[in-house]
Structure 1
Amino acid sequence: MYLNVHSQYSLRYGTLSIEKLVEQAKTLGIEQMALTDINNSTGAMEFIRECQEKGIKAITGIEFRKSSGLLYIGIARNREGMKELNDFLSFYNLNSMELPDKPWDFQNVYIIYPYKPEHRTLKENEFLGIPYRDLNSLFGKPLSGIREKIVALHSVTVSNKIEHRLHTYLRGIDLNTLLSKIGKNDCCHEDEVFLRPDQLKKRYEAYPFIISNTGKLMNDCSSSFEKGSKNRKTFTGSAKDDKALLEKLALEGMEYRYGRSNREALKRVQKELAVIDELHFSAYFLITWDIIRYSMARGYYHIGRGSGANSIVSYCMRITDVDPIELDLYFERFLNRQRSSPPDFDIDYSWDEREDVQDYIFKRYGSNHTALLGTMSTFKDRSIIREISKVMGLPAQEIDSFTDPTKQEQNRNNPTFAKILAIQSMMQHMPNQRSIHAGGVLISEEPITYYTALDLPPKGMPTVQWDMYEAEAIGYEKFDILSQRGIGHIKEAVRLVLENQKTKLDIHAVSSFMKDPKINAKLKTGKTIGCFYIESPAMRQLLRKLGCESYLTLVAASSIIRPGVASSGMMKTYISSFHDPENVKYLHPVMKEHLQETFGVMVYQEDVIKICYHYAGLDLTDADVLRRGMSGKYRSRKEFDRLVQRFFDRAKEIGRDEKTTEEVWRQVSSFAGYSFSKAHSASFAVESYQSLFLKTYYPLEFMVAVLNNYGGFYQRWVYVHELQKSGARVHLPCVNNSETKVRIRGKDAWLGFIGIQGLESHFMELIPAERNANGPYRDLADLIKRTGVNLEQAIILIRLGALRFTGSNKKELLWEVHNYLGSKTVPKQSTELFCTEAKEFYLPELQTSVLEDAYNELELLGYPLSMDMFDLLRTSYRGDQMADDLSKHVGQIIRTVGNYVCEKPVRTKNNKKMWFGTFLDKEGDFLDTIHFPASTPAYPFRGKGCYLIEGKVVDDFGYPSIDVNKFAKLPIRDNPVF
């Protein structure tokens, strides 16, 4: 009798989770029901699994709506019917078309329209659904011709009246309107709850034929789910041929990586190949290899990382560049006979190459069988409070107060806030909207619409309607095709070195980079600006505190820098132990036995698994599930909580001390959610070394590449400063020398037109393209004629000095441009057969100044190039001590001046706010500051500029910083134009 059940996946409409609605149905004795979420099939497969577990017959379908109006409901007779419904919805989603008033002619689908008296002609598979509250509309009506077509349509959306109120809040959020303005048709009825089967039948007892019709329809429908991989099963078309090809490629690659006679490598390759074949993963490896083969043939550079780097087979096939023998990585972290979840490879490409790789995958493996992975964002703490407050119509000031963590105490007794918190507790973790995964791609053996309808997000590629957890539960192993700026930096720098210095680089010769003393010296001193993953203030400090000068130390640093580690105290413990390994105190002998390499600290995800296994006695499968759960990668909170309890129970059973266990768990739980796998950290470290090699030996080209790939952690001016510090002569944009991006010739670098605020992208590309096609611009008039640049755009170029080649100063050029473009008649863009000289006008002498130029640059670039920020100051004071001198003044109060780079706010254990600041001194060196809660309110950050800094020099493992007592932004000289 339940043909229209909604779950939470009817976004901002349904309130019941799949688990909860199936549990309720089981409790009430409901034996069969149909899940028909609104315009999606996100929960269909999960629903089938839950129903199979609870002994309920699952039927699936989709409710189709246009705006708030119900069009029809599709009920799948079988899996072919569900595919038809998914194909139908996918067609309209992928073509950005509105749903039609009449659906297609389905072969395995029943269509239910909302009952209307005018419905008379219905196809064999079409029915009319009527809620029991509308049965009076049948009284006295002639039903001949449609008597066998009317079915019970009792919708289920909420559990009770309280959840119906929650439903109205969800509708208000969805419609972006106040509760008072939500219309009757915008919400479900209060009676859309589960009833016992006998209660529901009683509601329709006056029309027994409706009960009969409904029963017949439902009895003709069924859904089932079979466990097992849904990925493409073979690469070659034959599992036997896949096995042979994978073995051939792995052995050929082993010779490339290790030479012909490495017995250890051969033994490990053969062991891995046996497991891969046994678990039917040959096709997965071969498809990944095929993707790499395509991208390398296109000249694309990739990084293979994640747990896949534990595999020597992937290393030999050039999927990854991390040697698992060198790092003692074990394959079982990636793939093992007991592993409960499928593995995946993470393949990073440059940000401007990834979409081409994805396009290849879709074309190579078929659009019917390929889709991007979706993701499901949920309602989060502060955002829920804000959304609820908005639909309640609260003023902005009050909403800000409710979302400010520092005002929780004063809001505690506020009845409105208490109400919001009650609603928030119900809404917490509910699905909010579907989105797109960062890079997951699915390649299916069957057409993917057997399992989901497809969306078309802004990426423009078909995307499944569920997330990675559901994909895993269904049986899909994703291929992660990701992008990052760091690879773009490396790729561009290699190209620029070839272009500028005629030198071809082998950027993959990483083993030699790791042994290079010059590169390791830069690593040890934290001179890493622009380098992937190791340029942030926190990472630069960590490198110096560790005195990091080796690959293995960098691998560890890449993991312990993760957000939660410092707050747990484990980062400090690691650094201390690193410098004094002889005096390490291990929490327990198990920690010494298994964590001696990392001084008793869990640095890697593998360490977490080791401790759960060896200390608490969990099996490896449960240990990995617990580790994944602490990283947020769990589907069932109940299962996760069970494993946490099992951790303590098993530890007690094998005689572990209770207090020691509590401390072990504290360390495990605080670290596991933020750590990398060792292989992942190793992959990052490889890329860091490649960046460091370029920065060490080709610093100009490298910094230009960083700028041309839109930087990294810092603002653009920091990279321009680093380019200057590397020895480049950096020039302002010039219409006769600059390209769209930064251009380098020898030691001269011209800033590009990108980055000029207010300059239209059309002219950023047109100006250099026209010059390259038809020669340099002769003067302002020539520029105007050939590009059609308008007055506003020309003024921007003049003020920034982009026409300085003319020999005229800016004010003369501004006068001139108004003569050309100040009237309504604008010279037409054209190529002249005969060049006519422009008339010359004689003007009085017009003066400009460097200070005026600097102000123009501040406005149009965001930073001055003609003079630095220190030269803009009214004071000539530059500080008593520079950054390089701080180590000599530890414990002393000093005063200095720093140019603001960035700041990072954090919360103390008492929930008070403090800051870490980063500045450049007059010499261009970095200095770091600490702003504790006591001093910050009186001396706040006030944005970009130079600051007078007074404070005590403190030292942390050889790294000096300033504990700030007083702090003030210094005034700059007045703009001479005003």
Structure 2
Amino acid sequence: MFLNNHTYYSLRYGTIPPKRLLELAEKQKFKELVVTDINNTSAYLDMVRLSPNYKVKPILGVDFRNGAQQQFVMLAQNNNGFEKINEYLSSFLHQNSYEIPRKAKELPDTFVIYPFQNTIDFTLKSNEYIGIRKEELNRLKFSKWKNSLNKIVVLQTVTFEHKKGFNTHRLLRAIDNNTLLSMLPVSEQVSESEGILSIEELKNAFVEFPQIIKNTQDILDKCSIDFDFSGETPKNQKVFGESEKSDYDLLKKLSYDGISYRYENPNKEIYKRIEKELEVIKDKGFVSYFLINWKILEYARSKGYFYVGRGSGANSIIAYLLRITDVDPVELDLYFERFINLYRKNPPDFDIDFSWTDRDDITRFIFENFKNTALLTVYNTFKYRAAVRELGKVFGLPKSEIDVLSSGNYNYNGLDKLSQLVVIYSTYIEGFPNYLGIHAGGILISDKPIHYYTATFMPPKGYATTQFDMVIAEDIGLYKFDILSQRGLGKIKDAVEIVRYNNPDKEPIDIHDIQRFKEDEQIKYLLRNAKAIGCFYVESPAMRMLLKKLRVDDYLGLVAASSVIRPGVAKSGMMREYILRFRNPERRKDAHPTMLDIMPETYGVMVYQEDVIKVAHHFGGLDLGQADMLRRGMSGKFRSREEFLKVKDQFFLNCKNKGETLQLTQEIWMQIESFAGYAFAKGHSASYAVESYQSLFLKAYYPLEYMVATMNNFGGFYRTELYIHEARMHGGIIKNPCINKSYNETVIYGKEIYIGFMFLQSLESRTIKKILEERSKNGPFESLDDFIDRVSISIEQITILIKIRAFDFTKRNKRALLWEAHMKISKVTFEEYRPTLFRSKRITHKTPELFSSALEDAFDQMELLGYPLCSPFDLLIKESSFLLKANDLHLYKNQFVTIEGYLVTTKKTSTSGGKPMFFGTFLDRDGYFIDSVHFPPIAKKYPFRGKGVYRLYGKVIEEFECITIEVSSMERLAIIEDPRYADSRKAQRPRPKRNAS
């Protein structure tokens, strides 16, 4: 009876979660539930999926509005009508700005309802009606529609559940309009009548107009929608080529053709596995899915794009032969049932990583070569702190009070009434969808038109994007292709090119010769000693320590480490146990015999997702269907708790029947649960390890070129500053940007590394373009005058270049150059340089003798680059007497020491009791790492205070050959006053020892 119901996917308008709307419908004994969100279809498929649980018939439609102003409501009579509505809505959402007309377009299999208050100056078609609210019935008696009751239906809107919901609606509208609540126009909000009523209340209101009730019920009876959520049949593009048979023949041919590329001497095991996989892939209807991935990557290879195929797909030999992945599942004994089994309903997961510079072209290729394609959305929800800030503005609180509330450091009872309301309603709207974004890499390629399932919108990327997320997509049987980007591949690709131009006499690098890299002694040295700064996935402080603890120096060890580092293993306490069993073979005897038998390679410790499935199957007696349910729960994509709970009781019952103790069963189940959302498939870790080996090879043999590539791809785990430091540690000579030598990106000549113009803060891209184009056309610049003559540039922009010493080749003091530049350049220059036969001679003003120091250079560098190119220790006010070095800490085990270090990075974590603690990483004076741990009391008493040199006092701890300082106290040391603004006599200090010049 209610034809216009909103969930909170009526963004910044509705207040009722979809599940709650279903609960209310059941409570009020609705036989039908019509969902008509405002210009949005996000909630619909999930509500259709859940509606049988609430015994209501779902009906779908859209409330078409311009802002808050309702134009009409459209309802779908069936799936075809829903598709047409989605197409129609999308035609508006694909425009930058749009206005929905007063009259709806005529669409088949739909009903259209115009609100009574709107002016209707056109003739209604057979499927069009006027919708009226109970509050408008008195006006109906005096309107032109009083004698046309056959065209009137009930349009009682539901937007909120109760008074709090009404208040929340008004707050959301104020946020949407960026206005104070007290200034919110009445036209931008609903009346208090849009709460939920019972069917009886609504019928009683319309008791004088039974015809209207009948008309409304007739519409409800004629509407029906149905989607298949069984998962039995994937809804992805079913046929790649001409037919399913030709697809299978192609897949088989490509697989056997790939044997010679992958294997020198293939054995029977390989052929047996190929046959097995092909049969299962065919039976499950996944052939097209494989071929689409193959086609995408064939194009990538033709363009020379680097990529990494990972995810559970790396467990497949077919994926390996088709070059979707570079992981040999036979070599690693990867568990095929983790990838595909007869119980698995959804296709295997291929995550394809491309360089961040190449991903957009791959996306374009997909959209141009496959029909029914769309990007996946993500729901960007209100986070608590953001909600506090938004509501603080709505209530008109001053910024200082909003800052206090968002920090969480307040006593609720001590707050005034408005501040308390901000806290209450921020908690209430936390988790509400705020706006639709784009999934990091998910793309759907559907068999049916995307609009069969959802409306689409057009983000700045320029590709149609669904209004539902990947969880809903998989519920309906649409499985995404993950086309992701990462900077690690960009670094590898660029490093190969930089090596080529900086070492023209050397043979080209075969960066895909992974087998050779696995045997390389220099790579093994880097792994054993954790000298992997800049290398993909192995450079973080935590990974650096783990490599040492596990003495990693081979491929399998790195594969294990890549998964052991994941939160699931650490959370269960099994990371430490794994390290202990690795280092002490006697301790392996502590493992349960069944666990050790299942996982001999990992000493009876669950490390990979496959291990969890094996334990569930062999130890817990779950069948492969239940194990696949467990796999879904572990993926982190779905409702993990629900998936685990479905199999938990069966696991415990099976273990009890086998005679296992409750304590042991609980312990193993706890380990299984800790993997939810965090565990890696072994093939996934193996894929990461391949990319790690590629970057390790480049770091081992071409460290300078690799660091330049790392800088140009905007680093990795650390800031650019550390990669500059790392290059210096490998003999690189760091140079300031230079107008004759530098480019937009950092460039290397031999061992000299010139920082790129793009790293200069506030230097405009058009300025960089002018410099490079002019230099390319007419050669290097000879002097400041020559530069000013040839490049139209403002005084602000040339000041940046002079301050960073980009004119050092002139051998002139930069203060003198600045003085001259101000004399010769107007505030803003617009004229473009045009070469002339005779160049007019500039007047040269005699400049006074000016002085600038290396310390001034350091502060200019901090201003323009974000860091100094000298040693930060040279900027301290006082020379230190604490000269202990990182490499000597092992001599002071279990002793208290004082050491000074330059802060590199921090990691915040929590104790088991939820108290905040930190890990710190510093550099000593020689450039080597100091690692520290700051337990909660110390972290609170001696907090980190930003970048700088710190003096640490604490106890030297050694564990598994890793040295850390357990900090007892810490202070950040003061640096000198900025000499650019200090008395010039105070600025006379020795030149820093390490400088780019």
Whole-angstrom CA distance in 2 between matches of 1:951 and 1:612:
45
Whole-angstrom CA distance in 2 between matches of 1:667 and 1:415:
46
Whole-angstrom CA distance in 2 between matches of 1:121 and 1:202:
31
Matched position secondary structure for 2:759: coil
Residue 320 of structure 1 corresponds to 325
Q: Letter of the aligned partner of 2:99 in structure 1? A: L
Whole-angstrom CA distance in 1 between matches of 2:415 and 2:660:
46
1:373 counterpart (355, 376, 387): 376
Q: How many residues align?
A: 973
Residue 690 of structure 1 corresponds to 694
Q: CA deviation at 1:783?
A: 1.3
Whole-angstrom CA distance in 2 between matches of 1:419 and 1:838:
68
2:606 counterpart (592, 599, 602): 602
Matched position secondary structure for 2:58: strand
On the 8 A contact 1:348/1:484 being kept in 2, the answer is: yes
Residues 849-868 of structure 1 aligned to structure 2 (within 5 Å): 849-865=853-869, 867-868=870-871
| 1:186–1:127 distance in 2 versus 1, CA, 3 Å | same
1:310 counterpart (312, 315, 323): 315
Residue 30 of structure 1 corresponds to 30
Q: Is residue 2:117 matched to residue 1:116?
A: yes
Residue 257 of structure 1 corresponds to 262
Q: Which moved more, 1:825-834 or 1:728-737?
A: 825-834
On the 8 A contact 1:436/1:463 being kept in 2, the answer is: yes
| 1:636–1:343 distance in 2 versus 1, CA, 3 Å | same
Whole-angstrom CA distance in 1 between matches of 2:589 and 2:173:
57
Q: CA deviation at 1:936?
A: 3.6
Q: CA deviation at 1:567?
A: 4.7
Residue 92 of structure 2 corresponds to 92
Q: Is residue 2:216 matched to residue 1:214?
A: yes
Q: Letter of the aligned partner of 1:352 in structure 2? A: T
Q: Letter of the aligned partner of 1:313 in structure 2? A: I
| 1:869–1:630 distance in 2 versus 1, CA, 3 Å | same
Q: CA deviation at 1:781?
A: 1.8
Q: Deviations over 1:875-899 (max 9, x none)?
A: 3437432111111221122222212
Whole-angstrom CA distance in 1 between matches of 2:910 and 2:788:
55
1:900 counterpart (903, 923, 926): 903
| 1:949–1:141 distance in 2 versus 1, CA, 3 Å | closer
Residue 970 of structure 2 corresponds to 967
Q: Is residue 2:735 matched to residue 1:731?
A: yes
| 1:118–1:15 distance in 2 versus 1, CA, 3 Å | closer
Whole-angstrom CA distance in 1 between matches of 2:189 and 2:657:
53
Q: Letter of the aligned partner of 1:576 in structure 2? A: L
Residue 595 of structure 2 corresponds to 591
2:758 counterpart (754, 769, 773): 754
| 1:195–1:936 distance in 2 versus 1, CA, 3 Å | closer
Q: CA deviation at 1:404?
A: 4.8
Q: Is residue 2:940 matched to residue 1:933?
A: no
Residue 582 of structure 2 corresponds to 578
Whole-angstrom CA distance in 1 between matches of 2:949 and 2:144:
86
Residue 63 of structure 1 corresponds to 63
Q: Is residue 2:498 matched to residue 1:493?
A: no
Q: CA deviation at 1:64?
A: 0.8
Residue 234 of structure 1 corresponds to 239
Whole-angstrom CA distance in 2 between matches of 1:116 and 1:745:
74
Whole-angstrom CA distance in 1 between matches of 2:178 and 2:843:
61
On the 8 A contact 1:852/1:976 being kept in 2, the answer is: yes
On the 8 A contact 1:733/1:800 being kept in 2, the answer is: yes
Residues 458-469 of structure 1 aligned to structure 2 (within 5 Å): 458-469=460-471
Q: CA deviation at 1:942?
A: 2.4
Q: Letter of the aligned partner of 2:207 in structure 1? A: E
Q: Which moved more, 1:932-941 or 1:730-739?
A: 932-941
Residue 360 of structure 2 corresponds to 355
Residue 332 of structure 1 corresponds to 337
On the 8 A contact 2:34/2:61 being kept in 1, the answer is: yes
Matched position secondary structure for 1:433: strand
Q: Letter of the aligned partner of 1:107 in structure 2? A: P
Matched position secondary structure for 1:964: strand
On the 8 A contact 2:794/2:827 being kept in 1, the answer is: no
1:882 counterpart (877, 882, 885): 885
Q: CA deviation at 1:69?
A: 1.1
On the 8 A contact 1:626/1:644 being kept in 2, the answer is: no
Q: Is residue 2:925 matched to residue 1:914?
A: no
Whole-angstrom CA distance in 2 between matches of 1:384 and 1:100:
30
Q: Letter of the aligned partner of 2:531 in structure 1? A: K
Q: Deviations over 1:682-714 (max 9, x none)?
A: 111111110000000111111110011111111
Q: Letter of the aligned partner of 1:860 in structure 2? A: L
Q: CA deviation at 1:851?
A: 2.0
Q: CA deviation at 1:120?
A: 4.8
Q: Letter of the aligned partner of 1:889 in structure 2? A: Y
Q: CA deviation at 1:481?
A: 0.2
| 1:393–1:487 distance in 2 versus 1, CA, 3 Å | same
Q: CA deviation at 1:180?
A: 4.5
Q: CA deviation at 1:255?
A: 2.1
Q: Deviations over 1:60-82 (max 9, x none)?
A: 11101111111111112222221
Q: CA deviation at 1:405?
A: 6.1
| 1:413–1:730 distance in 2 versus 1, CA, 3 Å | closer
Residue 796 of structure 2 corresponds to 792
Matched position secondary structure for 1:754: helix
Whole-angstrom CA distance in 1 between matches of 2:433 and 2:662:
38
| 1:143–1:823 distance in 2 versus 1, CA, 3 Å | closer
Residue 104 of structure 2 corresponds to 103
Residue 273 of structure 1 corresponds to 278
Residue 947 of structure 2 corresponds to 944
On the 8 A contact 1:254/1:266 being kept in 2, the answer is: no
Matched position secondary structure for 1:289: helix
Whole-angstrom CA distance in 2 between matches of 1:818 and 1:422:
57
On the 8 A contact 1:4/1:153 being kept in 2, the answer is: yes
Residues 802-821 of structure 1 aligned to structure 2 (within 5 Å): 802-821=806-825
Whole-angstrom CA distance in 1 between matches of 2:409 and 2:838:
72
Whole-angstrom CA distance in 2 between matches of 1:565 and 1:177:
48
Q: CA deviation at 1:185?
A: 4.2
Q: Letter of the aligned partner of 2:610 in structure 1? A: E
- Quote the sequence identity (%): 45
Q: Letter of the aligned partner of 2:104 in structure 1? A: P
Matched position secondary structure for 2:333: coil
| 1:822–1:415 distance in 2 versus 1, CA, 3 Å | closer
Q: CA deviation at 1:23?
A: 4.2
| 1:961–1:39 distance in 2 versus 1, CA, 3 Å | same
Residue 82 of structure 1 corresponds to 82
Whole-angstrom CA distance in 2 between matches of 1:803 and 1:585:
68
Matched position secondary structure for 1:834: coil
Q: Which moved more, 1:684-693 or 1:52-61?
A: 52-61
Q: Deviations over 1:612-631 (max 9, x none)?
A: 33333333333343443355
Matched position secondary structure for 2:967: strand
Q: Deviations over 1:241-266 (max 9, x none)?
A: 00000000011112210136422111
1:620 counterpart (618, 624, 630): 624
Q: Letter of the aligned partner of 2:816 in structure 1? A: E
| 1:402–1:527 distance in 2 versus 1, CA, 3 Å | same
Q: Which runs of no fewer than 5 residues in structure 2 stay unpaired?
A: 983-997
Q: Which moved more, 1:133-142 or 1:694-703?
A: 133-142
Q: Is residue 2:833 matched to residue 1:833?
A: no
Residue 534 of structure 2 corresponds to 530
Q: Deviations over 1:201-247 (max 9, x none)?
A: 33222112212322333333322223532211111121000000000
Q: Letter of the aligned partner of 2:88 in structure 1? A: F
On the 8 A contact 2:951/2:970 being kept in 1, the answer is: yes
Whole-angstrom CA distance in 2 between matches of 1:525 and 1:694:
16
TM score, norm. by length of structure 1: 0.94
Whole-angstrom CA distance in 1 between matches of 2:748 and 2:262:
36
Q: CA deviation at 1:162?
A: 4.7
Whole-angstrom CA distance in 2 between matches of 1:559 and 1:386:
38
Q: Which moved more, 1:572-581 or 1:286-295?
A: 572-581
Matched position secondary structure for 2:301: helix
Q: Letter of the aligned partner of 1:748 in structure 2? A: E
On the 8 A contact 1:783/1:789 being kept in 2, the answer is: no
Whole-angstrom CA distance in 1 between matches of 2:595 and 2:675:
15
Q: CA deviation at 1:756?
A: 0.9
| 1:618–1:902 distance in 2 versus 1, CA, 3 Å | same
Whole-angstrom CA distance in 1 between matches of 2:936 and 2:347:
46
Whole-angstrom CA distance in 2 between matches of 1:852 and 1:378:
46
| 1:52–1:252 distance in 2 versus 1, CA, 3 Å | same
Whole-angstrom CA distance in 2 between matches of 1:972 and 1:636:
51
Whole-angstrom CA distance in 2 between matches of 1:824 and 1:305:
52
TM score, norm. by length of structure 2: 0.92
